[in-house]
């Protein structure tokens, strides 16, 4: 969990630090985009290879090495003097971050029994989201009071402490029979995930119809389809050993659990994408204050996630997941009524409801999926699990970014403004606020704020509809109980699991 926290802190701290980095490193808009995109692309490319490496040489060994590399790369970010140096350090961070989050999933599948796992998953879900407020709060304070490099150096003690904990407390596990290196599968999956992730990032900035978005998305999907075909072909060969056991997806618990978990994550993006802008642009908070205002969301998530395992044991995964999606939809529906004059208490209330629903969804869906993971291939399966999860974030950001932008621009009436000023207002909420301040126009400011809030409310309403779809899917496809891995149908022509052994 310390490893998971280190990765989460890095992602949230970067968003706060971008304006400072633009000034201190003399970074262009393209540089700023690559500070984030480069990390995400390497992260996507390294997911499945990281899992394969853990299964072959030992998962503890891979996690320890990744934590050390993560600490060094974080220090490299802090000591960078040019955008090129910073981008290079970010690429290494992505290379280190992938095995950290993949091995964490593998640990949940291997180290905990069926009875223990829901509680462990609840803690994992809570830690995943705790970085959302901690990053802006801590990063905002550091940027205001110290040298900017400390924003990245704070990852170093977290990673070092995690390394010590892993070395002392975590047992080594690896596949009893090391899996073969499926080089074609590794290349197809890595390139496909990179293309899909890059296209989704571009869709969020350039629009869904832009060639910069359509071409890589299409290319990534083609490569992933070829990857699936190759894995099926390899699995049918007498001595073939595919990278991924595609028979795993015949398990309703795994495929439906992973799909619902991803759907919940996408709905979460609708709130996470818009709330910081609302707090800073409408409520007038700074980045640190924006992080503090996210605490009700995290509190609700912890309240839902931690007891979620006990509730699942009593009423089963179907009822628990359905209740979670019901709370999630209710919180988002209430949130879609937010206005420019809404009180902090109102916003905190629906955020807490949203968080509680997310917690209740995350624990049983992840537990149901992980219950089907064989210890023998838990590294690669963890890579599949995280690869699907991580593509949901840029997809959600692109979808909800398009909704907010389209509605925001449709609400504006800027006929009296010069073309340059009107373009700046249409570009973003903060561009509109800056133009209104420069012109001293209170009516323009009210129009800009109102337009953004309408866009945010529409995005939250779409998120609520997605949560409602999740409720229906959970009731239709999730089983009343979670079967043991032995009940899963094995992959045709694939190898059977032989268990994990201590290192």
- pLDDT at residue 68 in the model: 94
Greater confidence, 159 or 290?
Answer: 159
Alpha-helical (H) ranges within 146-251 are: 150-153, 155-169, 183-206, 211-236
- pLDDT at residue 139 in the model: 82
Greater confidence, 462 or 20?
Answer: 462
- pLDDT at residue 500 in the model: 39
Residue 450 CB-half CA count within 13 A = 10
- pLDDT at residue 82 in the model: 92
- Average pLDDT for 442-447: 91
- Average pLDDT for 151-170: 89
Give first-to-last CA distance, the chain, whole Å.
21
Pairwise CA distance, residues 45 & 420, whole Å: 40
Average pLDDT, the chain: 84
- pLDDT at residue 503 in the model: 33
Determine contact, residues 87/31, Cβ cutoff 8 Å: yes
Dmax over CA atoms of the chain, in Å, equals 75
Which of 19-28, 149-158, 248-257, 494-503 shows the lowest per-residue confidence on average (mean pLDDT)?
494-503
Q: What angle do CA 245, 249, 250 make, to 5 degrees?
A: 110
Which of 151-160, 189-198, 306-315 shows the lowest per-residue confidence on average (mean pLDDT)?
306-315
Mapped onto helix, strand or coil, the DSSP state of residue 105 is: helix
Which of 86-95, 211-220, 271-280 shows the lowest per-residue confidence on average (mean pLDDT)?
271-280
Instruction: Quickly list DSSP for 417-453.
Output: S-HHHHHHHHH-HHHHHHHHHHHT-HHHHHHHHHHHH
List, in order, residues 6 or more apart from 236 with CB less than 8 Å away. 492, 493
Greater confidence, 320 or 371?
Answer: 320
Pairwise CA distance, residues 256 & 473, whole Å: 9
Residue 459 CB-half CA count within 13 A = 30
Q: Of 114-118, 236-240, 343-347, give the range with the top mean pLDDT.
A: 343-347
Determine contact, residues 104/124, Cβ cutoff 8 Å: yes
> Can you give the pTM of this predicted structure?
0.81
Pairwise CA distance, residues 98 & 193, whole Å: 13
- On the question of pLDDT at 262 being above 50, the answer is yes
- On the question of pLDDT at 195 being above 50, the answer is yes
- On the question of pLDDT at 190 being above 80, the answer is yes
Greater confidence, 207 or 102?
Answer: 102
- pLDDT at residue 12 in the model: 75
- pLDDT at residue 79 in the model: 93
- pLDDT at residue 208 in the model: 82
28: tokens are 């262009």
Of the candidates 302, 258, 308, 321, the residue with the CA atom closest to the CA atom of residue 470: 321
Pairwise CA distance, residues 312 & 330, whole Å: 21
- 8-44, pLDDT tens digit by residue? 877 778 877 877 888 888 887 678 778 878 888 888 8
Determine contact, residues 47/390, Cβ cutoff 8 Å: yes
- Average pLDDT for 330-335: 94
- 51-65, pLDDT tens digit by residue? 888 888 888 999 999
Q: Strand 500-502 to strand 173-175: parallel, antiparallel, or no bridges (unpaired)?
A: antiparallel
- Average pLDDT for 101-127: 83
Q: What percent of the chain has pLDDT over 90?
A: 26
Which of 9-23, 185-199, 330-344, 413-427 shows the lowest per-residue confidence on average (mean pLDDT)?
9-23
- On the question of pLDDT at 255 being above 60, the answer is yes
Pairwise CA distance, residues 375 & 17, whole Å: 40
Q: What angle do CA 421, 423, 427 make, to 5 degrees?
A: 120
Helix axes 183-206, 29-57, angle to 10 degrees: 150
Residue 280: which pLDDT band, with cuts at 50, 70 and 90? Answer: confident
**Per-residue three-class SS string for 260-315:** HHHHHHHHHHHHHHHHHHHHHHHCCCCHHHHHHHCHHHHHHHHHHHCCHHHHHHHH
- Average pLDDT for 358-373: 82
Pairwise CA distance, residues 378 & 370, whole Å: 9
Determine contact, residues 358/304, Cβ cutoff 8 Å: yes
501 beta partners: 174
Task: Taking the CA atoms of 485, 57, 224 and 41 in sequence, report the sign of the dihedral they define.
Answer: positive
Q: How many CB atoms lie within 10 A of CB 295?
A: 18
- On the question of pLDDT at 161 being above 60, the answer is yes
Greater confidence, 12 or 302?
Answer: 302
Determine contact, residues 276/292, Cβ cutoff 8 Å: no
Of the candidates 272, 244, 206, the residue with the CA atom closest to the CA atom of residue 8: 272
- On the question of pLDDT at 145 being above 80, the answer is yes
- pLDDT at residue 261 in the model: 87
Of the candidates 12, 13, 11, 49, the residue with the CA atom closest to the CA atom of residue 386: 49
- pLDDT at residue 481 in the model: 67
Determine contact, residues 382/373, Cβ cutoff 8 Å: yes
- pLDDT at residue 488 in the model: 44
- On the question of pLDDT at 291 being above 90, the answer is no
């Amino acid at each position: 969990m310390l490893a998971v926290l280190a990765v989460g802190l890095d992602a949230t701290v970067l968003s706060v630090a971008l304006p400072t980095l633009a000034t201190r490193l003399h970074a262009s808009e393209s540089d700023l985009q690559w500070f984030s995109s480069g990390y995400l692309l390497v992260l996507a490319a390294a997911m499945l290879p990281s899992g394969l490496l853990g299964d072959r040489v030992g998962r503890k060994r891979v996690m320890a090495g990744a934590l050390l590399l993560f600490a060094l790369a974080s220090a490299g970010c802090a000591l960078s003097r040019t955008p090129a140096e910073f981008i290079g350090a970010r690429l290494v961070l992505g290379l280190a971050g992938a095995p950290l989050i993949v091995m964490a999933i593998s640990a949940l599948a291997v180290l905990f029994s069926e009875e223990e796992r829901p509680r462990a998953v609840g803690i994992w879900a809570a830690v995943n989201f705790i970085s959302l407020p901690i990053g802006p709060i801590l990063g905002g304070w550091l940027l205001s009071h110290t040298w900017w490099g400390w924003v990245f150096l704070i990852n170093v003690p977290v990673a070092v402490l995690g390394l010590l904990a892993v070395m002392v407390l975590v047992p080594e596990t690896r596949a009893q029979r090391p899996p073969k290196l499926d080089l074609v599968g590794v290349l197809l999956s890595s390139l496909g995930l990179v293309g899909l992730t890059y296209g989704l990032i571009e869709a969020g900035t350039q629009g869904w119809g832009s060639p910069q978005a359509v071409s890589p998305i299409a290319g990534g999907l083609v490569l992933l389809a070829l990857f699936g075909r190759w894995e099926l072909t390899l699995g049918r060969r007498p001595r073939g050993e595919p990278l991924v056991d595609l028979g795993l997806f015949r398990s309703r618990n795994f495929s439906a659990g992973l799909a619902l978990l991803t759907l919940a994550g996408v709905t979460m993006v609708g709130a996470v994408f818009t709330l910081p802008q609302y707090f800073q642009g409408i409520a007038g908070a700074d980045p640190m204050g924006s992080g503090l205002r996210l605490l009700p969301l995290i509190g609700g998530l912890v309240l839902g996630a931690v007891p979620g395992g006990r509730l699942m044991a009593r009423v089963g995964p179907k009822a628990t997941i359905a209740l979670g999606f019901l709370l999630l939809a209710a919180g988002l529906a209430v949130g879609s009524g937010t206005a420019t004059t809404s009180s902090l208490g109102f916003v905190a209330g629906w955020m807490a409801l949203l968080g509680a629903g997310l917690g209740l969804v995350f624990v049983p869906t992840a537990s149901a999926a992980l219950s089907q993971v064989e210890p023998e291939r838990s590294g690669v399966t963890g890579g599949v699990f995280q690869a699907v999860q991580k593509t949901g974030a840029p997809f959600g950001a692109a979808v909800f970014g398009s909704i907010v932008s389209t509605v925001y621009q449709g609400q504006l009436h800027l006929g009296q403004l010069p073309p340059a000023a009107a373009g700046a207002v249409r570009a973003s909420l903060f561009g509109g606020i800056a133009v209104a301040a420069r012109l001293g126009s209170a009516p323009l400011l009210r129009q800009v704020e109102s337009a953004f809030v309408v866009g945010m409310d529409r995005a939250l309403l779409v998120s609520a509809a997605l949560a409602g779809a999740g409720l229906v899917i959970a009731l239709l496809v999730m089983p009343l109980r979670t079967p043991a891995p032995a009940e899963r149908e094995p992959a045709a022509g694939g190898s059977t699991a032989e268990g994990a052994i201590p290192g």
